[in-house]
Amino acid sequence: MSDPSSQRIGSRLRRRLGIALLIGPLVGLAVGAIIASLAFDTWGSGSIMVLVGGAIAGTMLALLWGGYSSLESPDPGQEPSDTERPIADRSELVRKEFDDPLDDADGQGLRDERDG
């Protein structure tokens, strides 16, 4: 992790996951409290379980959201590759283009057979 882009991604990921660990359970508890107050008349064990479930679900969703939001596309021209020029260095991906689609590679293709 010595290059700047890896350091930038690492710091962004740590910051967003830390925020998710703080905000996720609070939002989950709030949503769980609303659901528990609507579903149950008294604050018994069922309400407590809804609060715990809300806190767990809120934390997991916040961590997932924080992790995904820290990912980004690399800058143009900085994409990871196993070769310096990904397309030009692979001959099976590059073919010669012709001005006339009826000519083949040696220039003596379909046009000669059709013309004469």
What is the tens place of the pLDDT at every residue in 29-42? 999 999 999 988 88
pLDDT value of residue 101: 61
Report how far apart the first and last C-alpha atoms of the chain are (Å, whole number).
66
| Residue 40 within a domain | yes
Number of domains in the chain: 1
Q: How confident is the model at residue 55 (pLDDT cuts 50, 70, 90)?
A: very high
pLDDT value of residue 25: 94
| Residue 82 within a domain | no
Domain extent for 12: 4-69
pLDDT value of residue 116: 47
| Residue 54 within a domain | yes
| Residue 13 within a domain | yes
| Residue 74 within a domain | no
**Angle 45-69/4-39 helices, nearest 10 degrees?**
160
| Residue 111 within a domain | no
pLDDT value of residue 18: 92
